Amino acid sequence: MADYASSERLAPNIGSFANSYARLPAQFYASAVPTPAPEPRLIKFNHALARELGLTPPADDLAAIFAGNLVPAGAEPLAMAYAGHQFGGFVPQLGDGRAILLGEVIDTQGQRRDIQLKGAGRTPFSRRGDGCAALGPVLREYLISEAMHALGIPTTRALAAVTTGQQILREEGLVPGAVLTRVAASHVRVGTFQYFAARGDEASLRLLADYVINRCYPQAKAAERPYLALLQLVAASQAKLIAQWLLVGFIHGVMNTDNMAISGQTIDFGPCAFMDEYDPATVYSAIDYYGRYAYANQPRLANWNLARFAEAILPLLDDDQDTAIALGSEVIEGFQAQFADFWLEGARAKLGLFTAEDSDAALMNDLLDTMHKNQADFTLTFRHLNGDARSQFIDPTAFDAWAQSWQVRLSRETQSPAERAAKMQAVNPAFIPRNHRVEQALQAAIQHADYSLFEELLMVLAKPYRDQPESARYATPPELGERVLHTFCGT
Ligand code: AMP
Ligand code: MG
């Protein structure tokens, strides 16, 4: 147990906080103090990220600080207010029900970053929830968010994971409680804008937009219409993000508007997963009954979410509603093309193309079709396109036929095979957080407090583009009996 005796220990100095969200008016958040954990134990601390953030927490206090037992000096803990469309239905009040924003720090690059505890107890937005997080989902978020980062995809980060010493009740019974410390460029979501829009609070909407522009999109300030520029920048960052997801086979699983960060980072890793064999209809989330958030639906759903964002900020786009709608619609209607451009650029890199030809999208889609028909592993096919990718296909000659047209296309480029191979290795990962490996690591931790698989997986995933022959088992798809086809939010 932490020692609460001295005031010094009550507020350890771990770095300098620079809280700006706490300076916004009262309706933006509710103060929320973390609930102390009975017996905090450190599972993992991300030292490299801590250095990047300029945080120097005393080693002895890590468990207590990142369980929420010791609130660092300068932190002003709060729960953010937000609303959101969940599976298409609007909920006017959600808010941080099991997350507490400790505050913000300025990192070594001069960037403002949020430090948030997830699972540190109830807040005024908890509704019927317990404000707690289960160990499984905490480890899953730690693994997958750090893997996303290593893959080069914008994402929130994981700074720490602790167990609380408390058992919490979930569908599967009593499970260990845990707290994840998450770091984000900002936790403002589409749903944060919707919260004020739903209340007709235009003044707060404007304040929020100004806040986000200052923090994430300062370039919008110079635009003739800064709020329209904000919408355009958010659309562009989402178009790029979703393209990056698709190009590594990532399925977010719960793209509700409250789970879409305005910053363009991947956020809220619930039932997310990476696909093994390529199938555009892949769904892992056990609660996504109708496949709303299936792999191939993600661009369309991001577009839908953006339309909700545009609707929310409509009064800021122009005083005249028709003009505002026309301006917003143009951005929303341009999204698919913008996404397609990012996707095609990424697809070309995956195919090792240095130049652009009109037929490249068809070449990529032909490969994907052939992969789908032949149950080819997404990651291994691209990683070994120059090698034995054909062995991924039920009918290897189907791959050969495609490879012939690929070779014809490559013959029109001047780069050497070595240059091409280097380009391809840098974008086609050898390692992704394969669902069965993630589950194995989680189960060992939950059932036996054995974190060795978690540590090992984390280490392999830190260098996804590097061949790591000693860890080859993490590169291969599951055997039939190992497949894990469903993932859960765990809330
Ligand atoms: P999520 O599914 O994580 O995006 O959460 C959706 C909403 O439910 C958010 O407002 C969360 O804060 C809230 N929520 C999820 N789990 C819990 C929990 N265990 N206790 C309180 N609120 C929760
Ligand atoms: Mg959420």
Q: One of 258, 268, 276, 288 is an active-site residue; which one?
A: 258
In a domain, 404, yes or no: no
Query: What's the CA gap between 139 and 471, in Å, rounded?
Result: 20
Query: What's the CA gap between 33 and 120, in Å, rounded?
Result: 9
491 lines ligand 1 (CB under 6 A): yes
The token pair that represents 451 in the structure block:
């974190």
Query: What's the CA gap between 287 and 27, in Å, rounded?
Result: 32
The residue contributing the CA closest to ligand 1 atom 10 is 94
Span of 53-57, 183-187, 253-257, 487-491 with lowest mean pLDDT: 487-491
| Domain C-terminal end among 127, 157, 184 | 184
Residue 489: pLDDT band (50, 70, 90) is: confident
Average pLDDT, the chain: 96
Same domain, 92 and 153: yes
The token pair that represents 27 in the structure block:
């309706």
The residue contributing the CA closest to ligand 1 atom 11 is 97
Please compute, for residue 183, the number of CA atoms within 13 A of its CA located in the half-sphere on the CB side: 25
**Domain count for the chain:** 2
Nearest CA-CA partner of 160 in 174, 146, 170: 146
Cβ of 223: how many Cβ atoms within 10 Å? 15
The residue contributing the CA closest to ligand 1 atom 4 is 259
pLDDT above 90: residue 377 = yes
Give the torsion through C-alpha atoms of 34, 35, 40, 44, to 10 deg: -30
User: Residue 162: which region, alpha, beta or left (left: phi > 0; alpha: psi -120 to 50)?
Assistant: beta
Nearest CA-CA partner of 312 in 230, 211, 193: 193
Ligand 1 atom closest to Cα of residue 123: 21
Same domain, 233 and 179: no
In a domain, 266, yes or no: yes
The residue contributing the CA closest to ligand 1 atom 16 is 491
259 lines ligand 1 (CB under 6 A): yes
Which H or E element spans position 363? helix 360-373
Tens-place pLDDT, residues 301-346: 999 999 999 999 999 999 999 999 999 999 999 999 999 999 999 9
Identify the sign of the CA torsion 383, 388, 392, 394: positive
% of the chain surpassing 90 pLDDT: 94
pLDDT above 70: residue 450 = yes
Q: Looking at this protein, which amino acid is placed at residue 117?
A: L
Query: What's the CA gap between 176 and 194, in Å, rounded?
Result: 34
In a domain, 448, yes or no: no
Same domain, 331 and 259: yes
The residue contributing the CA closest to ligand 1 atom 14 is 97
Q: What is the pLDDT of residue 480?
A: 85
Measured in Å, residue 138 CA sits from the centre of ligand 2 at 13
Q: What is the pLDDT of residue 490?
A: 65
Same domain, 174 and 216: no
Residue 6: pLDDT band (50, 70, 90) is: very low
Ligand nearest to the CA of 287: 1
Its domain, for residue 67, covers 4-184
264 lines ligand 1 (CB under 6 A): no
Measured in Å, residue 97 CA sits from the centre of ligand 1 at 5
Measured in Å, residue 99 CA sits from the centre of ligand 2 at 9
One DSSP character per residue, 423-481 reads: HHHTTS-S---BHHHHHHHHHHHHHH---HHHHHHHHHHTSTTS--GGGGGGTSPPPGG
- C-beta separation of 211 from 262 below 8 A: no
Same domain, 197 and 323: yes
Ligand 1 atom closest to Cα of residue 96: 12
Q: What is the pLDDT of residue 255?
A: 98
pLDDT above 80: residue 60 = yes
pLDDT above 80: residue 445 = yes
Same domain, 328 and 199: yes
Ligand 1 atom closest to Cα of residue 94: 10
pLDDT above 90: residue 2 = no
Query: What's the CA gap between 274 and 251, in Å, rounded?
Result: 6
Q: Looking at this protein, which amino acid is placed at residue 206?
A: R
Residue whose pair of structure tokens reads 């005393």 in the numeric block: 58
| Domain C-terminal end among 297, 325, 343 | 343
Q: What is the pLDDT of residue 487?
A: 84
In a domain, 129, yes or no: yes
DSSP 8-state assignment for residue 219: G
Same domain, 172 and 23: yes
User: Residue 68: which region, alpha, beta or left (left: phi > 0; alpha: psi -120 to 50)?
Assistant: left
pLDDT above 90: residue 388 = yes
Q: What is the pLDDT of residue 1?
A: 36
In a domain, 490, yes or no: no
57 lines ligand 1 (CB under 6 A): no
92 lines ligand 1 (CB under 6 A): no
The residue contributing the CA closest to ligand 1 atom 3 is 268
Same domain, 177 and 241: no
Ligand nearest to the CA of 86: 1
Same domain, 311 and 169: no
Same domain, 22 and 69: yes
Ligand 1 atom closest to Cα of residue 95: 10
Ligand 1 atom closest to Cα of residue 131: 20
| Domain C-terminal end among 154, 184, 214 | 184
Tens-place pLDDT, residues 108-133: 999 999 999 999 999 999 999 999 99
Give every CB contact of residue 58 below 8 A, 6+ residues apart in sequence.
12, 14
Query: What's the CA gap between 403 and 395, in Å, rounded?
Result: 13
- C-beta separation of 295 from 275 below 8 A: yes
The 3-class SS string of 412-439 reads: CCCCCHHHHHHHHHCCCCCCCCEHHHHH
Q: What is the pLDDT of residue 386?
A: 94
Query: What's the CA gap between 290 and 381, in Å, rounded?
Result: 28
In a domain, 425, yes or no: no
132 lines ligand 1 (CB under 6 A): yes
93 lines ligand 1 (CB under 6 A): no
> Does the annotation count 3 as an active-site position?
no
Measured in Å, residue 293 CA sits from the centre of ligand 2 at 15
The token pair that represents 382 in the structure block:
């691209």
pLDDT above 70: residue 247 = yes
Tens-place pLDDT, residues 203-214: 999 999 999 999
Ligand 1 atom closest to Cα of residue 259: 4
% of the chain surpassing 70 pLDDT: 98
In a domain, 318, yes or no: yes
Cβ of 29: how many Cβ atoms within 10 Å? 23
268 lines ligand 1 (CB under 6 A): yes
Same domain, 297 and 166: no
Ligand nearest to the CA of 118: 1
Query: What's the CA gap between 478 and 297, in Å, rounded?
Result: 25
Same domain, 126 and 268: no
Q: What is the pLDDT of residue 491?
A: 59
Name the CA radius of gyration of the chain, rounded. 23
Measured in Å, residue 26 CA sits from the centre of ligand 2 at 22
Mean pLDDT of 185-201: 98
pLDDT above 60: residue 441 = yes
Q: What is the pLDDT of residue 299?
A: 98
pLDDT above 50: residue 4 = no
In a domain, 121, yes or no: yes
Q: What is the pLDDT of residue 163?
A: 98
Strand partners, 250: 274
Strand partners, 229: none
